[in-house]
Structure 1
Amino acid sequence: MSSIDDIFKKPSHPSNIKRKLEPARDPTEIYKAAKLDANGDTIRGKEPTVEDAEDDDVAGPELPPDFEEDIPDDEEGRFFGGGVTKDTTNALDYIDKHENEGAASLIVHLYSYMDEPSNGLARFMASEADLDVEIKTLSILSEHPKLYNEFAELGCAGSLVSLLTHENTDISIDAIEILGELIDEDVEAEEDQWDAIVNSMITTAFLTQLDILESLSSRPSIADRIGQESGIMPWLHERISRKEKRVSQNKQYSAEMLAILLQSSSKNRLRFISLEGVDTLLQLLSVYRKLDPQKDSDEEEYFENLFDCLTCVVDEDEGKDKFIEAEGIELAQIMLREGTLSKPRALRVLNHALGGRGGLRACEKFVEAGLLRTAFGMFMKQDKSLTEHLLGIFSSLLRLLPGDTSGRIRTLAKFVEKDYEKVTRLIKLRREYKSKLSVVEQDISQEKSSLSQDGLDALEGEWLSRRLDAGLFSLQVRFLLI
């Protein structure tokens, strides 16, 4: 019987076979080499072996020689790093560096198709859906106001404005939204950046779009240009006059935009007066001489905006003259006697019409129309919402009417009639306002005691506002009247 060694003896191979196998190891030695002792240690065989070096590292490619952890782990292996490798950090730095370049590339890309609005856009997009997407990508420009100058110089602003009249309303809406974002008050743009893009828009006559008119009118210089150099003023004049069965939101918004323009610029007021705007406003308001608009409706806002417009224009001497010629004082008289919502607003208009150096004619007309009785009757009813305007009217009458005229004599007679009851009320009001103002003055004095000179200068405007809220102006008028 053959032994185990004979069975596993290396067989002989022909010499023509080139591949040679390694000699087989003795199975007994292999078995003994793998046998474990009771303690778990391996029993070494007699053959010399190469001991593996202890290596706790995970298998993988070698780290670069200059690798260095930013913040190493602690002794217990907890992770304190930022979670961002150097490669990631470099990538983020690269993105920040070239972010503006990407926005600039977008501008140039769009300009190549928008430089010829008449046919370039049609050539640019085979479908309007793609054009819609491309327009929306301009939203990112509001985050990079430093590119506004380049955007304007390339003519992109004007081309974008041209889309406002696109036959596809979705594209027009997109253009309006983008324009609104670019000039939004929250955009952190410098003065020259904001002016660059706005001036470009103005030259393209986009001002017929009321959705962004309010943002533009926030700058007095721009408000002047809107009223003088564009057709917006005549258009607004026509729009608020258009007859409608029910006041629409567009009509109300047009009246609001007109009020904003008139409040911001004397030049705009004069131009509106030259368009016979005073007569138009009086005709529109005559509807409400006895009838009040529906509460909390577009018509009520429209009604208030018309009064705001009229109040602005009668501040100008030319507006006062037009107001008298169009029988505005007579209309106000009817509203004071029969109106409800129109009463305080009509009184405010009269206060502005009679004030200023050019208010003499209005004061004389006020007396001739018999409004002294109406005004002093309202004064004795002690309605605080009307008192301020009534005192302003009395002050204008006594200051502007000549001493030897019947108008001044009739005004003074109203103060002394019925045992000086009007004068008594004036003195009572003076005491009330003086008491309120003294409390505010005490608070201000305490605040001043703990402030430096720089702090005093910084808070002077705030203190004046608090004094006015407490009735400083009204108190001064009462002293003047008494």
Structure 2
Amino acid sequence: MTMEVAESDTDKRQLHSKRKRGDDGDIDLSLLEAVERSHNTVEVLDLKTLKKLVFSFERRLKENIEARLKYPDQPDRFADSEVELHEEIQKLKVLSGSPELYPDLVSLNAVPSILGLLSHDNTDIAIDVVQLLQDLTDEDALEDNDEPARALVDALVENSVLELLVQNLQRLSESDSDEMAAVYNTLATIENLIEVKPTVSELVCERTKLLRWLLAKIRAKEFDSNKQYASEILAILLQNSTANQKKLGQMNGVDVVLQAVALYKSKDPKTSDEEEMLENLFDCLCCLLMPLENKERFVKAEGVELMIIIMKQKKSAYGSAVRALDFAMTKYPPACERFVDVLGLKTAFAAFMGKIPLNKRNKRERYQEELEERIVSLVASLFDGISRGSRRERLLSKFVENECEKIDRLMELYVRYSDRVKAETERLNQLKFEELEMDEDEIYSRRLESGLYTLQLIAIILGHLWCSEHPGMRARIENLLKLQKLTKKDVIDILQEYHDNIGDLDGPDEKERAQGRIQKFISAL
């Protein structure tokens, strides 16, 4: 039985069009015509066939190296070997259909030879190898083949695939569609490697200049598919790595991402792809805002002001700007103070009251719900970050104006989230009664996801308002609780559960401070 391994027209044009970087002279057209007419076949892949493929590839590689050394200034003398080498690389793509043979490919020591071609003088050969690597590491190829995938990825990383891929990326000018495709495939390969081996996300940033390349790419004003993909890869690299977040912050990354986002402060993306890129950029920004030092950089770069402008312009990035502000102000008083100083309260409380700009994107119910939860978190951060002085008074006064309408809104949210959490708690208790295996931590986690976390934040805001000792606000809260057949004890129970589940992720001192603050609310109520 045989399997066709045919070249695409693009592959032929890519190698044989007169694009040899650093080479002069013409390629033998008769040879190209022969390649066009040929059909290469290999037997269905097994170990024996794999050995034949690798042996043939190594032989053509050796011949190409020898021809280039013998005739360095006569491209027409080594053109034949280049075409034949290209053919062998194409044949190796059939391996992606048999990932169970990847450990054998590694043991045959073919990986160093393949990766060596990423530095080939002919960029087209390097592009061939990038396509091969993308195929071999593709998610579809590796499905249900975890061990073989790890064997290949480990070998690739040990043989400097990350360094070679990024070096190749840096020499691609994206001057034509082939190089554009090569950039995309390089990024796809890096993403595939991270999928198989998550530690690659930090290794690639330690060992290469990929972060610098990605920053340069997202800084470009013109939108294209590779800028979109660069934003996605950057978000992946930052997602679960404090080291990468800090490293990018030190590289002026906060400012660069803010500049990229600022292009959309008064306009919407033109396409769904561009919209996705903008979301990726905000994902990057929110990840960057995890370390404390990057929050400081965000404030210095006038990120707070930019987010408020985006909210005021009421474009599609409105919700993303709220999310970024929430990240910036969480446990960082200077951002909260700046927010009040630059008159952000009016904009934030318009959103708090449900005055959210509607467009085709944010009409979705889940979008509005997420935005609502973010705004509650933002207001809670403001109360936590501004403990005294005129800024605190300005914040508190928002809940008194217009006949305490914001307390009415707060209690409306309290009742809605309380009902939702009660329903979920009853459902989980029923599942537990039916002996479904769930421990207390899992039950608590599910309740948090169903709205308990937002309910806790609302209770904390109520605690801040109650501790202000403003008689009008206290009376309003008590009346509204009574109206809903609730008592202060209900709020205290929520606060107590929150108090008891505060972890020590930020250290024992921070845990004690947080618990002390909640205990103060409980005592006051």
TM-score, normalised with respect to structure 1: 0.69
Alpha-carbon distance in 1 for matches of 2:351, 2:210:
40
Which of 119, 123, 132 is the matching residue for 1:178? 132
Which of 47, 67, 76 in structure 2 is aligned with 1:100? 47
Q: Alpha-carbon deviation of 1:413?
A: 2.4
**Which residue is equivalent to 2:420?**
436
Residue in 2 that maps onto 1:324: 299
Check the 8 A contact 1:117/1:159 in 2, yes or no.
Answer: no
> What is the RMSD of the two structures over their aligned residues, measured on CA atoms?
3.2
Deviation digits for residues 448-471 of structure 1, max 9, x if unmatched?
22226xx335x975x666534532
Q: In 2, Cα distance between the equivalents of 1:139 and 1:477?
A: 54
Q: Which residue does 1:260 correspond to in 2? A: 236
Aligned position for 1:274: 250
Distance 1:325 1:146, change over 3 A: same
2:60–2:85 CA contact under 8 A, matched in 1: no
Match of 1:313 in 2: 288
1:312 Cα deviation from its structure 2 partner = 1.5
Distance 1:193 1:134, change over 3 A: closer
Does residue 236 (structure 1) correspond to residue 214 (structure 2)? The answer is yes
Q: Which is further off, 168-177 or 198-207?
A: 168-177
Equivalents in 1 of 2:66, 2:163: separation in Å?
17
1: CA distance, partners of 2:256 / 2:221: 13
CA contact (8 A) 2:218 2:257 kept: no
Q: Distance in 2 between matches of 1:341 and 1:162?
A: 46
1:113–1:121 Cα contact (<8 Å) kept: no
Query: Is structure 2 residue 264 aligned with structure 1 residue 288?
Result: yes
In the alignment, the residues of structure 2 paired with residue 478 and residue 448 of structure 1 have an alpha-carbon distance, to the nearest angstrom, of 28
The offset of 1:151, in angstroms, is 3.8
Aligned to 1:223: 201
Q: What letter is aligned with 2:188?
A: D
The residue number in structure 2 matching 1:304 is 279
Distance across 1 between alignment mates of 2:301 and 2:377: 23
Task: Give the 3 Å change call, closer, same or farther, for CA 155–361 of structure 1 in structure 2.
Answer: farther
Cα distance in structure 2, aligned partners of 1:407 and 1:362:
12
C-alpha separation between the residues in 1 aligned to 2:110 and 2:435? 52
Structure 2 Cα separation of the partners of residues 117 and 389 of structure 1:
60
CA contact under 8 A between 1:430 and 1:475: conserved in structure 2? yes
TM-score by length of 2: 0.64
Counterpart of 1:337?
A: 312
Structure 1, unaligned runs of 5 or more? 1-94
Tell me the secondary structure at the aligned position of residue 470 of structure 1. helix
Letter matched to residue 193 of structure 2: L
Contact persistence 2:299–2:335 (CA under 8 A): yes
Q: Return closer, same or farther for 1:159/1:421 CA change in 2, 3 Å cut-off.
A: same
Alpha-carbon distance in structure 1 between the residues aligned to 2:57 and 2:317: 53
My pick for the range that moved more, 165-174 or 206-215, is: 165-174
Partner of 1:419: 403
Q: Following TM superposition, by how much is the alpha carbon of 1:144 offset from its aligned partner in structure 2, in angstroms?
A: 5.3
Query: Structure 1 residue aligned with 2:351, among 369, 373, 378?
Result: 378
2:372 paired with 1:387: yes
Q: Partner letter of residue 376 of structure 2?
A: L
Where does residue 194 of structure 1 map in the other structure?
153
1:456 and 2:438 aligned: yes
> Which of 101, 110, 126 is the equivalent residue of 1:156?
110
Measure, in 2, the Cα distance between the counterparts of 1:119 and 1:468: 66
Q: Is the helix fraction higher in 1 or 2? A: 2
Select the structure of larger CA radius of gyration. Answer: 1
Contact 2:50/2:105 (8 A) holds in 1? no
Q: Does 1:397 find its partner at 2:356?
A: no
**Residue type matched to 2:341 in 1?**
E
Written as runs of structure 1 = structure 2, the 5 A alignment for 1:81-100 is 99-100=46-47
Deviation at 1:342, TM superposition (A): 2.0
Task: Name the amino acid aligned to 1:306.
Answer: L
Aligned-partner Cα distance in 2 for 1:376–1:474: 17
The AA in structure 2 aligned to 1:257 is I
User: What one-letter code is carried by the residue in structure 1 that aligns with 2:137?
Assistant: I
Q: CA deviation at 1:233?
A: 0.7
Q: What is the deviation of 1:379?
A: 0.9
Give the conservation status (yes or no) of the 8 Å contact 2:162–2:204.
no
Pairing of 1:101-180 with structure 2 (within 5 A): 101-114=48-61, 118-119=65-66, 126-142=80-96, 145=99, 148-149=102-103, 151-152=105-106, 156-164=110-118, 171-180=125-134
Deviations 1:285-306 (A, max 9, x none): 222221222142x432332222
User: Contact 1:278/1:319 (CA < 8 Å) preserved in 2?
Assistant: yes
Secondary structure of 1:471's counterpart equals helix
Equivalent residues of 1:115, 1:156 under 8 A apart: no
Amino acid of the structure 1 residue aligned with 2:220: R
User: 1:448, 1:475 → 2: CA distance?
Assistant: 23
- Identity of paired residues, percent? 34
Give, in whole Å, the separation in 2 of the partners of 1:115 and 1:440: 67
Q: Deviations 1:127-160 (Å, cap 9, x if unpaired)? A: 5443333223323434555654564466533432
State the aligned residue count: 377
Q: Secondary structure of the residue that 1:456 maps to in structure 2?
A: coil
- Give structure 2 stretches of 5+ with no counterpart: 1-42, 71-77, 170-185, 357-367, 463-525
Q: Does the 8 Å contact 1:146/1:189 carry over to 2? A: no
Is residue 113–residue 120 contact of structure 1 (8 Å, CA) maintained in 2? no
Contact 1:111 1:154 in 2 (8 A): no
Q: Which amino acid aligns with 2:84?
A: D
Flag the 1:434–1:102 CA change in 2: closer, same or farther, 3 A. same
Per-residue CA distance 1:43-95 (angstroms, 9 max, x = gap): xxxxxxxxxxxxxxxxxxxxxxxxxxxxxxxxxxxxxxxxxxxxxxxxxxxx9
